[in-house]
Chain A
Amino acid sequence: MAEADSTHEAHWQRTKNLTIITLIIWFIFAFGVHWFAPQLNSITFLGFPLGFYMAGQGSLFAFVVIIFWFARAQNKIDEEFGVAEDENEDE
């Protein structure tokens, strides 16, 4: 039981760290970049004013990437600690 507890603790610690990193990146794209939109607009990116681009497309795309990345990373952690579900549960 003690061993199971320590595995559980270590797994949860890694999960927390991953979640915090995810939320920091999320915060940057959710709030950080838009705070500086007027300044970013003087930069042209893919033909767009960058401030507009981030609110209309850039941040949105970043969120898609973050979630897929997060799902993969969390899955790796689960497998490493042997707490992932069996493969056949997916079908």
Chain B
Amino acid sequence: MKGDFIQNLGKIYGLYTGGFLLFIILMAILEQAGVSPDTIGYLFVGFTIAIYALIGVLSRTMATDQYYVAGRQVPALYNGMATAADWMSGASFVAMAGGIYFGGYGYMAFLVGWTGGYVLVASLMAPYLRKFGCYTVPDFIGTRYGGNFARLCAVIVLVVASFTYVTAQINATGTVAARALQIPFEVGVWFGLAGILVCSMLGGMRAVTWTQVAQYIVLIIAYIVPVVWMSNKSGFGLIPQLAYGDAVHRVQELEALHQVGALKPTETFGGLAALVNPINAPGDTLMAKWKFATLVLCMMCGTASLPHVLMRYFTTPSVRSARISVGWSILFIFLLYFTAPALATFTKLSLLDPNLATGIIGKSIADVNALQWIQKWAAVDFLKVSDSNGDGILQINELFMRADIVVLATPEIAGLPYVISGLVAAGGMAAAMSTADGLLLAIANALSHDLYYKIIDPKAETKTRLVVARILLLGVGAAGAFVASLKLTSILGAVAWAFDFACSGLFFPLVLGIWWKRANREGAIAGMVGGFVAGSAYLYYVYFAGGTPWFGIDHLRFGVIGMPVSLVLMIVVSLMTEEPDEETQRMVDAVRTPRGGTVLDATH
């Protein structure tokens, strides 16, 4: 091949995608030839991780700008794919369709929030931070506002938000690895971590970028293929996302028939839930609308403040390409997110419709218990059928499931071959690994660049800095795996919290740093500390101390408390203290003009 790697990206990833499709076909042939499902699952997860590891090793580097920002030469389109993989976590992949299945309309606030946040990223943040030329998000805070204390505050918020998030991702890789490789969860977590680290240890951002592109390709194929297959089988055509409107209407009829929402479960099983929320019943009360809007707001502002997302846009070649790259990112994210409600609807339809062979609600308990997929998932405690009222018929409030099952078990419910389940496992693994990599790198880079190099030892040599960065990566990863192995929180709770932490502490200091020249160090510190402390205190009050939520603001939305505190404190304190010096004001002007070099030099 002529030219360097960057010029041949299209060819390389084209070949890679073709190779992956061939691999899927090969697995299908092996399945027909009688190879056991376990072996196929093993091959899927093993083969994809081996590819990522290979990319990780080939991308090794000892240059700081390569390690921190991939040399700022990632084209907009590929950065979009990498961001999409970085963004879509194990929770998006495994739990989102299940969330919509169980949560109905209210849960779709996550869909709106996790996409609309990118409008804020594109219009308020990404191009300006790219122009600034920072390596990390605290790097911007520390330079714009000046002083080690402001930098340190940003590092702390970043570490808390990202660490909450990364334990959930390592948890997810552990779950998938444990199931695909038939090893205990506690071992799976460490195995997952090894896979994650091999992608990022040697090459930092450069390696993570090129593995994330590869992971996006795997995860999007793995998400869409089963849905299209299932939809085609049940007569909704090859583009189910556009054609499931009738299915929504039909599900609404069926939910009325089965009294979804009216029949409450009378028993509880740990981690499992019965269906009580109809798919399309937006509340008409002020409270219901407020709850939807506040969740959307927290997720959006969180998106625009989470460092592992923002730092992806530091890697593009120009300010212009940073903007376009946000567009590509959200397009690639959209492909998965607009498929999730379709999947949730099809799963509901197939379980609830008595006219379909797959419908189980209203059938006799004995018949349902005889189904193979019910037995299989009940055996691992993902599902429970319990005849609460003793009438021998399965009612809607007698079927208990884990939300993950909607994605993981769908191929089996619809009777698709096992090769599809193996593909889904590989996709879930890719989604969780890519997000974990981005988060671990964000944490380790902030600690190595901002805490170690900028605050503790500004004279450190390049080589030392990069060695420290890797040691920290290893340390943070191990800490994350250890916490994950303790199984402290449910996946969803932890993910939403990360967004609330990030928006409470970082949203306004970042936005105002660009958009308000008058914002100064004292104001930014007050905003970061005040917002973060207020949000965390409210989380403690409402979640751990069992307090009554104020105005329906529960633990998923505590950013609604943190953000206003941060905004008000930042403005009031800035105005009460001295205006930033002329040099800082010139810096802000430079950030607002795309032309000209970055504010910080390339190897600062």
Contacts and interface: CB of A to CB of B under 8 A. Distances in A.
Contacts of B185: none
B549 interface: no
Contacts of A85: 318-320, 594-595
Given A47-B246, A61-B334, A75-B320, A67 B122 contact: yes
Contacts of A48: 244-245, 248
Contact of A70 (B108, B122, B318, B594): B122
Interface string B112-132: 110110111011100100000
Interface residues on A, range: 35 or more
B169 to A, nearest CB: 23
B242 interface: yes
A60 B334 contact: yes
Contacts of B112: 30, 34, 55, 59-60
Contacts of A75: 320, 323
B320 A83 contact: no
Nearest to B589: A8
Contacts of B289: 34-35
B108 A46 contact: no
A52 B105 contact: yes
Most buried by B among A26, A52, A66: A52
Most buried by B among A44, A48, A67: A67
Given A51-B282, A60-B112, A78 B320 contact: yes
A29 B280 CA distance: 18
Contact of A60 (B120, B122, B337): B337
A50 to B, nearest CB: 10
B115 A63 contact: yes
Interface string A64-91: 1011101100110010001111000111
Most buried by A among B115, B124, B279, B321: B115
Interface string B458-491: 0000000000000000000000000000000000
B595 A64 contact: no
A36 B593 CA distance: 40
Contacts of B292: 34, 37
Most buried by B among A22, A61, A63, A91: A63
Interface in B473-525: none
Interface string B381-421: 00000000000000000000000000000000000000000
B116 A26 contact: yes
Contacts of A71: 122, 320, 323-324, 326-327
Interface residues of B, number: 58
Contacts of B245: 44-49, 53
Nearest to A33: B112
B326 A15 contact: no
A15 B128 CA distance: 12
Contact of B338 (A8, A15, A57, A90): A57
B317 A83 contact: no
Interface string B327-342: 1001100100110010
B88 interface: no
B243 interface: yes
Nearest to A57: B338
Nearest to A35: B289
A42 B471 CA distance: 58
B284 interface: yes
Nearest to A78: B594
10 contacts: A30-B112, A34-B109, A59-B115, A60-B111, A63-B118, A64-B115, A67-B326, A71-B324, A85-B319, A85-B320
Interface of A: 8, 11-12, 15, 19, 22-23, 26, 29-31, 34-35, 37-38, 41, 44-49, 51-53, 55-57, 59-61, 63-64, 66-68, 70-71, 74-75, 78, 82-85, 89-91
Given A30-B119, A60-B338, A67-B122, 18 more contacts: A22-B123, A26-B120, A34-B293, A45-B245, A47-B243, A55-B112, A57-B241, A57-B338, A59-B112, A60-B111, A63-B119, A64-B327, A68-B327, A71-B326, A74-B323, A78-B320, A83-B595, A89-B317
